[in-house]
Structure 1
């Protein structure tokens, strides 16, 4: 909750948010509490059954606004936001990628996803494990039950069918960096300092390949940056967009 001293950061331009795998609005709720964005939209990627539907939902949200839109994507949502930006360049004011890579998946990650799809197909998926859950968070937050429970609840509510659809939708994954490097709009890269899924070196490599980009690391955050450092992320977004 906001206190009387926590005045929301103002953003008076349209912003469209894209959630990550097995995420819904709850991934951004804490951050939104620190932001005043009259022109805000959210792409419910959890509703989509495949990539085509993800693109359709994204285009629909862009159409809410007449002026160019700022796209903000978290994790998998960053990749979908980047795809959307590339296909609608004249409609995009900026692209912000939160803990998100837009290159091809490493072979190890591809194998892990294929194994997970097999587990889901065999009806053996029992939800996220405690070990896996804690990997998403900075060391200082791995015992923070409020933060952990947000992710647990999204996993339980959205379930195996949504997870399978989202994994399948973005696999195989095209490397978008060469095309993003040619885009006229700025690309803002931001991640937690201890992200075990999208490392600092990965973000730095992206930054080097994108001449139109800047890069920021936020302290005391892992992959769940929007939950772990919601106010810092809100301040960051306001500084880049407002």
Structure 2
């Protein structure tokens, strides 16, 4: 669940950062309109991954805006700047998080292109399976058909064990002692440098990490169920991935009859590793859809 390249740390000048009001509470978002003079073609709702945040999509906002797409990146419940219960893991059950996504789409006021990275992809899938009507398409970014790889399960288990006996601040110090946080399976590589990684780690609710970590280690293969949903699908990943094998993502795309993009030079976070080609692939997929989504 790591990636290693640098990326711009600031959103576009016209980005709005605010709390999106929904029927299920408020969620922190970064909302970037289509570029000045470019007609808006659609709206994308972007869901980050495990230990991630809305800032993980910072590098793709501007190129998506240039192609005519408004992009709204969101912190999920209990994730970084979105509030959530401190000790109640049941509040972070996958169905609860999926219903949050449905509420976010409803609050944006129109069918949206849904994009989920890693854990965010599995939450996006759950939302689509509950109700696909708020969405024009679904893109799964480095998000596989079921549970994560054995090596990543071991890392998640280490994190869960640490959270059972240590505070978030103590866990952060332990992560730093093991090496750079983006290198040791701790907080996901993000945009904004180590201070941002530290701040979002401390802001994230431990119950959210515990609950979603369990989900990643136990998620069943729901590809056949998803394939029955009448939406266009896109499976996008880097050329290398240690969380789900790229061959598994290839197979999932075939089973979904999905558009498939492999971003060369990128690993688990193509939105950070190679934002320009990632944004081109997203916009190109959306451009190829008819007004009703197909």
TM-score (structure 1 length as normaliser): 0.79
The verdict on how the C-alpha distance between 1:85 and 1:70 changes in structure 2, with shifts beyond 3 A counting, is same
Q: Which runs of 5+ in 1 are unaligned?
A: 137-141
Partners of 1:133 and 1:228 in 2: CA distance: 13
**Residue 27 (structure 2) aligns with:** none
Q: Indicate conservation of the 8 Å contact 2:148/2:244, yes or no.
A: no
**Residue 82 (structure 1) aligns with:** 125
How far did residue 159 of structure 1 move?
5.0
Displaced runs of 4+ in structure 1, greater than 6 A? 145-148
Cα displacement string for residues 98-137 of structure 1 (whole angstroms, at most 9, x for unaligned residues): 111132345564454334211210116333643772378x
Say which SS state the counterpart of residue 259 (structure 2) adopts.
strand
The RMSD of aligned alpha carbons is 3.2
**Residue 227 (structure 2) aligns with:** 181
Listed as ranges, the matches of 1:47-58 within 5 Å are: 47=82, 48=84, 49-51=91-93, 52-58=95-101
TM-score (structure 2 length as normaliser): 0.67
2:212 equivalent to 1:166: yes
Say which SS state the counterpart of residue 196 (structure 1) adopts.
coil
Say which SS state the counterpart of residue 22 (structure 1) adopts.
coil
Q: Which runs of 5+ in 2 are unaligned?
A: 1-7, 13-33, 85-90, 288-294
The verdict on how the C-alpha distance between 1:150 and 1:166 changes in structure 2, with shifts beyond 3 A counting, is farther
Aligned residue pairs total 230
How far did residue 186 of structure 1 move?
1.3
Say which SS state the counterpart of residue 185 (structure 1) adopts.
coil
The verdict on how the C-alpha distance between 1:236 and 1:95 changes in structure 2, with shifts beyond 3 A counting, is same
Match of 1:133 among 170, 182, 195: 182
